[in-house]
Amino acid sequence: MNFLEERILKDGIVKEGNVLKVDSFLNHQMDVRLFDQIGEEFKRRFADEKINKILTIEASGIGIACIVARHFDVPVIFAKKSKSINIEGDVYVAEVESFTHKCKNQVIVSKKFLNPEDKVLIIDDFLANGCALQGLISIVKSAGAEVSGIGIAIEKGFQPGGQVIRNLGFHLESLAIVDSMDYTTGEIKFRENA
Amino acid sequence: MNFLEERILKDGIVKEGNVLKVDSFLNHQMDVRLFDQIGEEFKRRFADEKINKILTIEASGIGIACIVARHFDVPVIFAKKSKSINIEGDVYVAEVESFTHKCKNQVIVSKKFLNPEDKVLIIDDFLANGCALQGLISIVKSAGAEVSGIGIAIEKGFQPGGQVIRNLGFHLESLAIVDSMDYTTGEIKFRENA
């Protein structure tokens, strides 16, 4: 069992509807020391990739992405969920459906920050049905850039997102893959060797 | 002139309507090395405060807050802008009006992450009219906790937010205070000794 799985067992809470609450350390309150360990581990797992940029999506991906970026010494771009008046028209757009918020969003990245030479590591806190991730991949492709890796903190292995992405041949690393959860007992089962 | 002012002059773009675009290094693409310098500087300026928690607001405050948090070795909490189904009812709420997005939002922080013993450093990327900041202060007060400091990357000194907060006696440190901008010439004037 790795450091993140141990932390999930210690502080994660299983709720009805396959909700895993990790808001005490991952996506509301954020344990920056833990993020540093996550960064170190991704650096090890993606050691062979020539990554020059990290892409994530607001909001909860940003903290992890920034700390991970220190280990790669590269800038972070975060995809924005709605059109801000401060973003100009020249943007890459993808449609993203959120499981958590039950809504569709357009996510955008300004064209000037992604170009065909970029080797992009996509970082996010959660992977479930994979809609956010598909949107980010789509944006990287629109730029003609390369998805050199995808680093996820927690994958819900009982939802299809991760399998689809692996089937497509992407180098996806999830630090903890939850294969099942039971809110009546609080039990969480992880996939081995995640 | 400090490192942030120099960077604003180098890469910031002045737009009509008193908009300062710093999206190439601060709030869309994020220069994590720069954030590290910001963290070091805040650590110096708030050296006398016993800070045990950092509070920020999604989305663009999160990256800076996480890197700053490494210098204080404390966790970060980010206030969320809309009610997520993953947040339970037990939250502190404040109303925030956004200058950029021309809308009102409720921001919330789960009660379990702020308590009366906390000495909170509030971090954000921008301070203009101060609505977001007022909401964060209000949340800290609701928890009975103490605002030990407020660290802002860029303050628009020609808008009232910063003055109000200083008048109220808060220890506010803005690393760059823009006193005026001219979009026709691109000129940016900083307050001295910010």
The reported pLDDT for the residue numbered B84 is 53
**Domain boundary assignment for chain B:** 3-189
- Asked if residue B101 has pLDDT above 70, the reply is no
Output the pLDDT for position A193. Answer: 75
Q: Mutation target for A interface from B18, B25, B32: give the one with most A CBs within 10 A.
A: B32
Which is nearest to B20 in space by CA: B172, B150, B156?
A: B156
Over range B159-176, report the average pLDDT.
97
Tell me how many helices (H) and strands (E) chain A has: 5, 11
Q: Average pLDDT for residues A170-191, to the nearest whole number? A: 97
Confidence of residue B37 (pLDDT cuts 50, 70, 90): very high
B24 CA: distance to closest CA in chain A (Å) = 7
Please say whether the beta carbons of B66 and B38 come within 8 A.
Answer: no
Contact between A76 and B28 using a beta-carbon 8 Å cutoff: no
The highest-level CATH class for domain A3-190 is alpha beta
Convert the pLDDT of each residue in B121-135 to its tens digit: 999 999 999 999 999
Which chain A residue has the Cα nearest residue B18? A86
CATH fold of B3-189 reads Rossmann fold (3.40.50)
Note whether B163 contacts A: Cβ–Cβ < 8 A.
Answer: no
List, for residues A127-149, the tens digit of each pLDDT value: 999 999 999 999 999 999 999 99
> A20-48 pLDDT, tens per residue?
999 999 999 999 999 999 999 999 999 99
Q: What percent of chain A has pLDDT over 90?
A: 88
Cβ-nearest to B75 among A31, A70, A87: A31
Q: Across the A/B interface, how many CB contacts are shorter than 8 Å? A: 122
Query: Which residue from B minimizes the CA distance to A84?
Result: B101
Q: List Cα–Cα distances, A9 to A4, A34, B83, B162, in angstroms.
A: 9, 14, 26, 43
SS3 of B3-28: HHHHHHHHHCEEECCCEEECCCCCCC
Between helix B32-45 and helix B3-11 the angle, nearest 10°, is 150
The tens digit of pLDDT for each residue in A77-122 reads 999 987 555 555 799 999 887 665 566 778 999 999 999 999 999 9
Q: Which of B32, B73, B76 sits opposite A69 (nearest CB)?
A: B32
Q: Supply the pLDDT for residue A102.
A: 62
Is residue B97's pLDDT more than 80?
no
Structure confidence at residue A83 (pLDDT): 54
* DSSP secondary structure code for residue A82 in this structure: S
Check CB contact of B52 with chain A, cutoff 8 Å.
Answer: no
pLDDT, averaged across chain A: 93
The DSSP result for chain B, as a single string, is: --HHHHHHHHH-EEETTTEEE-TTTTSSEE-HHHHHHHHHHHHHHTTTS---EEEEETTHHHHHHHHHHHHHT--EEEEBSS--TTS-S-EEEEEEEETTTTEEEEEEEEGGG--TT-EEEEEEEEESS-HHHHHHHHHHHHTT-EEEEEEEEEEETTSTHHHHHHHTT--EEEEEEEEEEETTTTEEEEPTT-
pLDDT digits (tens, 9 = 90+) for B43-70: 999 999 999 999 999 999 999 999 999 9
Chain B contacts in chain A segment 29-48 (CB below 8 A): 29-33, 35-36
pLDDT at B166: 97
* pLDDT score for B108: 94
